[in-house]
Amino acid sequence: MQIARMVNVRNGSDRITGTRFRGMRRLMASGLAALLLAVSLSSAAIAQNAPLVLQRHGRTISLEPYAPNILRVTISIDRTAATAAPGYGFVAKPSEQGWSYTRDVTGEEIFRSAKMIVRVGPAELAKDQVPQRMPLDVLNNQLREKYFGGPHKEGPHDDALQVTTADGKTLLHMRTWTMAPERPDVAHADAGATGYRVAATFDSPANEHYYGLGQQQKGWMDLRDHEIRCWHDYGAVGGENVCVPFMVSSLGYGLVWDNPSKTTIDLGFNGQNVWSSEVGDRISYFIIAGDNTDEIYTGYRLLTGATHMLPRTVYGYIQSKAIYPTQAQVLAVANEYKKKHLPLGVMVVDFLNMTEQGNLDLDPARWPDPAAMNRQLHAMGVDTLLSVWPHFSKGTLFYDMLASKGWLVHTPDGKPDSGWYKAVIGPNIDTTNPAAAKWFWEKIRDRYIKPYGFDYLWLDETEPDVDPAKDVFWIGSGTRFYNVYPLFHTASVYEGFRRDFGDSRRVFILARAAYLGAQRNGTVFWSSDIVSTWDMLKRSIPAGLNFTATGLPYWDTDIAGFFSPVIPADYHAAHKPLVDGSDVRGTIGNYEDYPELFVRWFEWGVFQPIMRAHGERNHNEIWSYGKQAEPILAKYLKLRYQLLPYTYSVAYRSYQTGAPYMRALFMDFPSDPKVADIPDEYMYGSAFLVAPVTEQGATHRTVYLPAGCDWYNYWTNQRLHGGQTIDVEAPIDTLPLFVKAGSIVPLGPDDGSAGQTQKIVSVKVYPGADGHFALFQDDGKTYRYERGNYSLTKLTWSDAAHRLTHEGAPAWRGPDASVVTVIGSSASGP
């Protein structure tokens, strides 16, 4: 029998609800005294999918497990809100397996599993345990009471909650929480719903460091001592902010904040972390414990969904500019790559391709035969990515229908909102409405994909770019649901693809903003319309590392930036440019060091999860930046394709675990305190340490090699000890790149055959430690891998035996000696 009634255990002031202990019938038969003794002194298993719910003087605390290392905490003055399901973005179901409940003699509630122990402090603390300010004299208190005193029902409430590992190491300690009335302007915008400003305060130990929380382009790596404005803001200083409210701590936990309104996170100030959301009806967050960061990401994957494999072609190179305005230009660029024997994976048809914004067509004057264009590109092994904006301008083909149905983002009085845009652009479609989302996908399917053969979709403006703060979505006010549009908008296309094409074709969506769970929509996110400067290159690296640390592995940049800065007529580079661009003034104008910037950014782009060139320039292909730049760019483009077997395999691991393969150093070297705040180095998979050059004119840079292993210079094979900072030569054609000892790196051809059957040309082994690598291969185009239709080759290096072995599917033909190279070095580092 399952018992859901409330049991009074503290004179009515503190009640346990819905714990549904197994064996409750027997306890009840023994009388109330026996029940109280059992609750206070023994451990009880929790019945199926039942949260532990505590009632305290009108406050409700709910603890709901999802896995032995995942617990949801929900707190509210509204019991219904506290016990309701999580918000948007979550797909997991609660699971109590392995959890038990105890109350100790002090009144502390203890919820435990093999991975976590959660303690909720007593409802009424002893006087000497209540947090107090330093004392003031009686008269001071009396004077203050007149102006600042009175009841404070909104808090802060001292329902302290502490989370530790099973062996007692503290992970997280929540001290207080509040629910205060909304600000008047927020309440006005959120009309029709009762809402509060909600906040929770946690301890911030001095040795704790923080990562993730979406995209902040201000140059930060460690987010400690920063205020994070977690909401989508296209115009943020440094580049667009994107809110994904998931943070990873160096202490071994992740915190997922379940609130889509504008949220501010203050990290480390005065020894505290404060999470505060503009509107809500509860505090709701998930704690994910992990012995390592990948275990935390596996928990995030469970909660919000898997990062699916992309089409194999997409892991190669994507060529774009803003814009190729005609079919003839797209074909000319692709043909030039073929003529030059340079690999190319995807050509992009950017925005402003319609007759009018919202007609969902292609201007026939510029695109006379898109189907023929795609056939020609496909014959060259090149796929296409088509930009489809979500805007519908008044007077266009579908506007009246969309407006009449309320399918456009609109103000509370029902008027479609075009925001700051000109009327020829128009408001966004409201894809939070399932009927509008289905219609949007079906129009894309029937007007672009089926008749013309476009492969992939670029869903730009996914913030939405029309600020929703004073608008209304189908799901509710834009104030309350400020950050969720990217999740719904990308889902409209992903789910449509899967519904109509099944497993037969993989989805690739390029999107400018994200939210919890958006990684499950076949989506690559990019750093938005950033400025083409050296400063932006430097800021972009930690921005990308924190974004992927948020649990969304696929992120990239417009290589060398989108917007050109305004270049003064008398401009000169700070140092003599390392690339002479005098032969391409028609592309660079008087931005004389731009070819150098493009080369350095392109070198870094090889080691981004997805490699894509884009930007507002006359020309943007690798031959566009001068005779000195072209051979360097060709070298790195071919390197991207040589690395495809490696990249594709580490991407499969991201699918399995949810962990990124563009990895900030804290993930792989948690015992090395020196890596906590390095913003311009990272791991690409388990093997490569990447250290981009971000200073104009630089031909050297310092690199810190993390402790605990040896490293090899990729270009020279010199072996170096970890735990030291070295000065590395970095001429313009050299990206500082190191390989961790014990790594196994499979390489393929450099001819651009990304969409074809994988071929292994070489396997490089870097001795100095035992190593393992799982080489993944499948058809590269379908979702059949989800059903086990793939092959794995497990490569194992025994350092003691100095031998590479492999098992599973054959990965290459001929003897191992013809493929495997064990790297040696006659010179050692200090």
Which entry of 529, 603, 668, 710 is annotated as an active-site residue?
Answer: 529
Q: How confident is the model at residue 71 (pLDDT cuts 50, 70, 90)?
A: very high
Q: What is d(CA 469, CA 474) in angstroms, rounded to the nearest whole number?
A: 14
Structure tokens at 712: 């090899």
In tens, the pLDDT along 346-381 reads 999 999 999 999 999 999 999 999 999 999 999 999
Poorest-pLDDT segment among 18-27, 114-123, 389-398, 761-770: 18-27
Q: How far is CA 223 from CA 536, 549, 661, in A?
A: 18, 12, 20
- Kindly give, in sequence order, each residue whose CB lies less than 8 Å from that of residue 185, ignoring residues fewer than 6 positions away: none
Quick check: 530 and 498 in contact, CB under 8 A? Answer: no
User: Residue 2: its pLDDT value, please?
Assistant: 28
Determine the 3-state secondary structure of 64 from DSSP. Answer: strand
Adjacent-strand bridge partners of 154: none
User: Residue 42: its pLDDT value, please?
Assistant: 40
Query: What is the Cα gyration radius of the chain?
Result: 28
Quick check: 485 and 491 in contact, CB under 8 A? Answer: no
Tell me the average pLDDT across 227-249: 97
In tens, the pLDDT along 778-790 reads 999 999 999 999 9
Poorest-pLDDT segment among 132-136, 353-357, 429-433: 132-136
User: Residue 744: its pLDDT value, please?
Assistant: 98
Structure tokens at 523: 């989506």
User: Residue 47: its pLDDT value, please?
Assistant: 53
How many Cβ atoms sit within 10 Å of the Cβ of residue 551?
30
Structure tokens at 392: 């519908």
Q: How confident is the model at residue 45 (pLDDT cuts 50, 70, 90)?
A: low
In tens, the pLDDT along 168-195 reads 999 999 999 999 999 988 988 887 778 8
How many Cβ atoms sit within 10 Å of the Cβ of residue 645?
26
Q: How far is CA 524 from CA 110, 408, 552, 642, in A?
A: 41, 25, 9, 22
Catalytic residue check, 350:
no
Q: What is d(CA 208, CA 588) in angstroms, rounded to the nearest whole number?
A: 45
8-state DSSP, 244: -
Q: At what angle do helices 434-444 and 485-501 cross, to 10 degrees?
A: 60
Q: What is d(CA 217, CA 544) in angstroms, rounded to the nearest whole number?
A: 9
Tell me the average pLDDT across 243-247: 98
* Phi, psi angle pair for 496, to nearest 5°: -65, -45
Q: How confident is the model at residue 800 (pLDDT cuts 50, 70, 90)?
A: very high
Catalytic residue check, 500:
no
Question: Is the pLDDT confidence value at 24 over 60?
Answer: no
Structure tokens at 69: 């290392």
8-state DSSP, 661: S
Between 10 and 491, name the one with better pLDDT.
Answer: 491
Structure tokens at 777: 């291969």
Adjacent-strand bridge partners of 387: 458
Q: What is d(CA 91, CA 491) in angstroms, rounded to the nearest whole number?
A: 13
Q: What is d(CA 587, CA 627) in angstroms, rounded to the nearest whole number?
A: 13
**Checking DSSP bridges between strand 555-556 and strand 523-526, what pairing results, if any?**
parallel
Task: Report the mean per-residue pLDDT for the chain.
Answer: 92
Q: What is d(CA 547, CA 670) in angstroms, rounded to the nearest whole number?
A: 19
User: Residue 11: its pLDDT value, please?
Assistant: 31
Task: Give the burial class of 500: count Cβ atoms within 10 A of its Cβ; 0-12 exposed, 13-18 middle, 19 or more buried.
Answer: middle
Poorest-pLDDT segment among 49-63, 537-551, 555-569, 649-663: 49-63
Catalytic residue check, 227:
no
Tell me the average pLDDT across 686-693: 98
Q: How confident is the model at residue 751 (pLDDT cuts 50, 70, 90)?
A: confident
Q: How confident is the model at residue 729 (pLDDT cuts 50, 70, 90)?
A: very high
Q: What is d(CA 47, CA 20) in angstroms, rounded to the nearest whole number?
A: 5
Between 24 and 699, name the one with better pLDDT.
Answer: 699
Question: Is the pLDDT confidence value at 817 over 90?
Answer: yes
Question: Is the pLDDT confidence value at 33 over 70?
Answer: no
- Kindly give, in sequence order, each residue whose CB lies less than 8 Å from that of residue 488, ignoring residues fewer than 6 positions away: 88, 431, 432, 437
The helix (run of H) or strand (run of E) holding residue 142 is helix 138-148
Question: Is the pLDDT confidence value at 5 over 60?
Answer: no
Tell me the average pLDDT across 477-488: 97
Question: Is the pLDDT confidence value at 6 over 50?
Answer: no
Structure tokens at 227: 């205020």
Which entry of 96, 463, 467, 681 is annotated as an active-site residue?
Answer: 463
Cα 266 to chain centroid distance, Å, stands at: 20
Residue 280 identity (one-letter amino acid)? G
Which entry of 222, 281, 383, 460 is annotated as an active-site residue?
Answer: 460
Residues above pLDDT 90, as percent of the chain: 85
Q: How far is CA 272 from CA 44, 130, 231, 447, 818, in A?
A: 34, 18, 21, 53, 58
Quick check: 593 and 582 in contact, CB under 8 A? Answer: no
What is the dihedral sign for C-alpha 610, 614, 615, 620?
positive
User: Residue 20: its pLDDT value, please?
Assistant: 34
User: Residue 130: its pLDDT value, please?
Assistant: 74
Q: What is d(CA 643, CA 125) in angstroms, rounded to the nearest whole number?
A: 60
- Kindly give, in sequence order, each residue whose CB lies less than 8 Å from that of residue 360, ignoring residues fewer than 6 positions away: 354, 388, 397, 398, 443, 444, 447, 448
Quick check: 709 and 769 in contact, CB under 8 A? Answer: yes
User: Residue 192: its pLDDT value, please?
Assistant: 74
Residue 284 identity (one-letter amino acid)? S
Q: How far is CA 275 from CA 161, 168, 180, 552, in A?
A: 15, 25, 14, 21
Q: How confident is the model at residue 756 (pLDDT cuts 50, 70, 90)?
A: confident
In terms of Cα–Cα distance, which of 172, 148, 169, 159 is closest to 71?
172
Q: For 5, what's the count of Cα atoms within 13 Å in the CB-facing half-sphere?
A: 6
